[in-house]
Structure 1
Amino acid sequence: MSLVRAAVFVGLLAFAAGSGFAQQQGQSSDSDDAYERPYKICAENTVDPGTYNGYRRYHAFCHQCHGPDGLGSSYAPKLVDSLQVLKRDQFNEVVVNGRQNLAAGQEKVMPSFGHVEDVMMYLDDIYSYLKARSDGKLGRGRPQRCPA
């Protein structure tokens, strides 16, 4: 390989590495946004089938602790606030493996749902519903389904 070709090759590698680094430093792509915000709002309080199913699954498994519409309770946090900070992968990690937090002299425990098939099969839908609520795109109560 000639010296010129080697220099061009090294330059291309540096450019490719720099492009990936820049994207990781806050430049999000459309696919990143779709991953973090998978819901589709058709009209006011009208959502895609997955987000609607997430509402149903959330109220079957999660609202007993986290309150209706993700607004929290006296012993579990508001998920509409939590998802303003947590990324999708972090949310999934907590749901699958649980979490124990011993802050301010209180013991807070989120049990693992990794063994609950009805939660794991619909985890993406639950996230979609809660993220739409967290982003302020979906109001309280039962949403309507988008027309087919």
Structure 2
Amino acid sequence: MVFLGALAAAGSVIAGPAVKSEDGKYLDKDGNPTWNKKDDGTWDWYTFSGYRRYHAECHVCHGPDGEGSTYAPALRVSLQTMTYDQFQETVVNGRTVHTSGKESVMPSFGTNKNVMCYIDDIYVYLKARADGALARARPEKREAKIDAIKQYEDACMAN
């Protein structure tokens, strides 16, 4: 575990809500995964990976870059108030919302490994978009994918 104050003291100022890092994943004050952008423009691996995973699995309904569509909400807006636990609950179990005589259905992705093995990545990417930290573009610079992340992904996809 690396505390980000030590990194900042070493000249790598960190922007964003991250307060510590564990195995390449940045965490906020509540222990939830979050984005991290260094002052040289380097994004954490999870934000970069989340961009790719979101556009592989989620953008068909929720639009490019979390901007929404005619039948699914803008997750960039939703994650301004949605908690990490609420996000997980919705992705795992799906939900149905009734408003003004209309029904909106989010299917469950709880058995989709391409979503569940990368749920933190997707959340972190969308949180960076919701916080206004990441523009509508693929993160250009990124941290390397470390072995701990590779091992987690391999184990998750194998189960």
Same fold (TM over 0.5): yes
Q: Structure 1 residue aligned with 2:49, among 44, 53, 66?
A: 53
Match of 2:62 in 1: 66
Shift, 1:51, TM fit: 1.0
Structure 2 distance, partners of 1:35, 1:73, is 31
Match of 1:145 in 2: 141
1:125 aligns with 2:121: yes
Structure 2 distance, partners of 1:69, 1:41, is 18
Unaligned runs of 5+ in 1: 1-29
Shift, 1:35, TM fit: 3.4
Q: TM-score, normalised by structure 1?
A: 0.74
Which protein, 1 or 2, shows the higher relative CO under an 8 Å CA cutoff with sep ≥ 6?
1
Match of 2:73 in 1: 77
Structure 1 distance, partners of 2:139, 2:112, is 25
Aligned residues: 119
Q: TM-score, normalised by structure 2?
A: 0.69
* Bigger strand share: 2
Structure 1 distance, partners of 2:132, 2:41, is 11
Kindly report which structure 2 residues correspond to 1:1-148, keeping only aligned pairs within 5 A, or say none. 32-33=28-29, 35-36=31-32, 38-43=34-39, 46-148=42-144
Structure 2 distance, partners of 1:111, 1:138, is 27
Structure 1 distance, partners of 2:61, 2:40, is 27
Identity of paired residues, percent? 54
* Bigger helix share: 1
State the Cα RMSD in Å: 1.8
Shift, 1:117, TM fit: 0.6
Unaligned runs of 5+ in 2: 1-18, 20-26, 145-159
Q: Of the two, which has the highest radius of gyration? A: 1
3-state SS of the aligned residue for 1:33? Answer: coil
Query: Any conservation in 2 of the 1:114–1:120 contact (CA below 8 Å)?
Result: yes
Change (3 A) 1:100 1:147: closer
